[in-house]
């Protein structure tokens, strides 16, 4: 295995979600004013469902928590039903006691993308930095919308999406047609992500197996953006058997 990445391999995708939710719940219990980074997409949906259950059944409070989301489609405002702001509200924020003003999602309809990204970085610094960031992984190894070739020290910025990413997001789960998928997004940079004190990356399914193998066992290279987590001091990949099948 390359680097410091710790592996936690679960039997099923359901178990991945349960284990991930436990990690985040433990952080919030120990640090009630934790600063948490979040991801979108299909992989973390069940983790958010588990966190909402823990909030309801065990009284886990998010009232002191501040959140930052990895990315947002450029050109979509937060009311659009495919925006990541809308996703986070419906999947998690509306189901817990988090204060809305403590949830930070990049504004895809901002008048200036560069100023929006700069302000996002400033808010992270002002909050004291990210305690733990939840990540997914794309089939091409991307994290957030940092496509292959993204520098290890990249910051939050406007990026162009690869054809692979556009196709992956137009399979009917999100957009019904590739033509509907925005071609650009605002994304936290790899450098931004790497500054979090703890990273947890989730992956499930055979479609992610090649990307996981490249991230864990391949070279430390921008060609596979997730491989740039190999030297992080506290990074755990929580995988199901399928996603781990090529390790």
Q: Does the annotation count 80 as an active-site position?
A: no
The catalytic position among 142, 169, 232, 240 is 142
Q: Does the annotation count 89 as an active-site position?
A: no
Q: In 10 A of CB 212, how many CB atoms? A: 25
Which residues make Cβ contacts (< 8 Å) with residue 149, sequence separation at least 6? 222, 223
Q: Does the annotation count 147 as an active-site position?
A: yes
The catalytic position among 69, 104, 140, 146 is 140
The catalytic position among 71, 116, 131, 240 is 71
Judging by DSSP bridges, how do beta strands 184-187 and 132-135 pair with one another? unpaired
CA 172 to chain CA mean position, Å:
20
Q: Does the annotation count 232 as an active-site position?
A: no
In sequence order, what E strands does the chain have?
6-10, 35-38, 66-69, 71-73, 103-104, 132-135, 157-160, 184-187, 198-203, 235-240
Whether 147 contacts 159, CB under 8 Å: yes
> Please, which contacts does 88-96 make with residues 24 or more away whose CB atoms are closer than 8 Å?
88/38, 88/40, 91/45, 91/48, 91/49, 92/38, 92/48, 92/51, 92/52, 95/48, 95/52, 95/55, 95/56, 96/51, 96/52, 96/55, 96/62
The catalytic position among 72, 116, 121, 147 is 147
Q: Which residues are catalytic?
A: 71, 140, 142, 147
């Amino acid at each position: 295995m390359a680097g410091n990445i710790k592996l936690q391999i679960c039997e099923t995708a359901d178990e991945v979600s349960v284990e991930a939710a436990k990690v985040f719940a433990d952080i919030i219990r120990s640090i009630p004013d934790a600063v948490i980074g979040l991801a979108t997409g299909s992989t973390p949906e069940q983790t958010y469902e588990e966190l909402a259950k823990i909030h309801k059944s065990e009284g886990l409070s998010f009232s002191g928590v501040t959140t930052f989301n990895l990315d947002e489609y450029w050109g979509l405002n937060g009311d659009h039903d495919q925006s990541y702001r809308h996703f986070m509200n419906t999947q998690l924020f509306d189901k817990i006691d988090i204060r809305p003003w403590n949830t930070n999602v990049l504004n895809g309809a901002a008048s200036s993308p560069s100023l929006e990204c700069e302000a996002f970085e400033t808010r992270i610094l002002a909050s004291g930095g990210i305690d733990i960031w939840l990540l997914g992984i794309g089939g091409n190894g991307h994290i957030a919308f940092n496509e292959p070739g993204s520098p290890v020290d990249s910051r939050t910025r406007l990026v162009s999406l690869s054809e692979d990413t556009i196709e992956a997001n137009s399979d009917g789960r999100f957009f019904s047609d590739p033509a509907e998928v925005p071609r650009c997004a605002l994304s936290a940079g790899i450098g931004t992500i790497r500054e979090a004190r703890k990273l947890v990356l989730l992956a499930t399914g055979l479609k992610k197996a090649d990307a996981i193998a490249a991230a864990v066992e391949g070279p430390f290279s921008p060609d596979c953006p997730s491989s740039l987590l190999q030297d992080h001091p506290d990074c755990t990949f929580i995988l199901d058997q399928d996603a781990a099948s090529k390790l």
